[in-house]
């Protein structure tokens, strides 16, 4: 049986905190270690989200457990951002500092051999010494799937979509999506109690598209997202598509119109984190002082 060293990570001067509540990464300073960037897929149904929580199964916890076993030491993993309970990913990015004897290729193969079936490392590459998955990210992209056809309720589709199975006005939903593009306050579309995080986000893409004959997909890309923001946006636009509220409500909510509330958030099962984009030189230079930004 492998024994895992419990020596505090900071004493190794590698820069990644063992419990990454603040998401801190600094330069890899130990010549015996290097930073590996991982791209992860996971089925969120059996997880209480990405971030480690006491007595709960999380994606971060599973990956840290496996990497700690492989490296024979406590190995922390920092992700590009949190995903909530039940939310999936096909493009979550994370980083960990591991001994140089582990190449990116060998680490990916060994990690996938030990991870449970609902988590998979799609890619692993050597990262620059200052690379930080969260702070270096230029944008993040999500897709939300809504099932409209009857066979979207199949057990092979329903767990990964919102099987609404009702006709919708796509043109009204497209009009609502166009309203959110640009720099706006999304305070109305965020979970309450998050004021200290700020509420402005810049959305560069927001569109509805067909989903393989099963329904619709909402594609959205932004520099950052607030807690539950995508799900509140989808829930509100679905009500627009069902004719239960006018598309103009979306513009009014962006202006924080008094007395107007969003629709309930869409269920988490239809939401996927699909991509995190980085500048070409991400992690190659010492970072400037950066304010903490949390994402969906």
Q: Which residues are catalytic?
A: 84
**Cα(12)–Cα(18) distance, rounded to whole angstroms?**
11
What's the maximum distance between 2 C-alpha atoms anywhere in the chain? 62
Angle ∠(78,140,158) on CA atoms, nearest 5: 95
| Nearest in space to 86 (alpha carbons), one of 268, 285, 295 | 268
With beta carbons less than 8 A apart as the criterion, state whether 199 and 190 touch: yes
3-state secondary structure (DSSP) of residue 166: coil
With beta carbons less than 8 A apart as the criterion, state whether 40 and 94 touch: yes
3-state secondary structure (DSSP) of residue 194: coil
| Nearest in space to 85 (alpha carbons), one of 113, 47, 122 | 47
User: Please, is 126 exposed, middle or buried when counting C-beta atoms within 10 Å of its C-beta (0-12, 13-18, 19+)?
Assistant: middle
With beta carbons less than 8 A apart as the criterion, state whether 236 and 189 touch: yes
| Nearest in space to 135 (alpha carbons), one of 35, 283, 10 | 283
Residues in CB range of 125: below 8 A, 6 or more apart: 36, 37, 104
């Amino acid at each position: 049986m492998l024994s895992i060293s419990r020596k505090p990570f900071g004493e190794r001067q590698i820069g990644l905190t063992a419990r990454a509540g603040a998401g801190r990464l600094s330069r890899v300073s130990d010549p015996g270690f290097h930073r590996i960037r991982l791209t992860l897929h996971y089925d969120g149904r059996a997880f209480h989200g990405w971030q480690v929580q006491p007595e709960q199964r999380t994606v971060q916890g599973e990956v840290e457990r496996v990497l700690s076993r492989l490296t024979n030491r406590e190995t922390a993993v920092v992700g590009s951002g949190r995903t909530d309970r039940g939310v999936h990913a096909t493009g979550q990015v994370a980083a960990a500092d591991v001994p140089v004897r582990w190449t990116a290729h060998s680490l990916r193969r060994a990690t996938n051999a030990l991870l449970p079936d609902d988590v998979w490392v799609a890619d692993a590459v050597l990262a620059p010494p200052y690379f930080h998955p969260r702070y270096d990210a230029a944008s993040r992209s999500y897709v939300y799937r809504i099932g409209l056809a009857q066979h979207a309720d199949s057990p092979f589709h329903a767990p990964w979509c919102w099987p609404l199975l009702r006709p919708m006005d796509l043109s009204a939903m497209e009009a609502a999506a166009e309203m959110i593009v640009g720099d706006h306050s999304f305070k109305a579309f965020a979970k309450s109690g998050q004021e200290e995080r700020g509420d402005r986000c810049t959305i560069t893409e927001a569109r509805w598209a067909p989903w393989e004959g099963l329904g619709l997909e909402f594609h959205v890309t932004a520099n950052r997202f607030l807690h539950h923001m995508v799900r509140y946006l989808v829930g509100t636009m679905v009500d627009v598509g069902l004719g239960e509220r006018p598309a103009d409500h979306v513009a009014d909510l962006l202006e924080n119109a008094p007395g107007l509330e969003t629709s309930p958030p869409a269920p988490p099962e239809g939401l996927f984190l699909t991509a995190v984009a980085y500048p070409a030189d991400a992690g190659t230079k010492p970072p400037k002082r950066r304010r903490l930004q949390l994402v969906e």
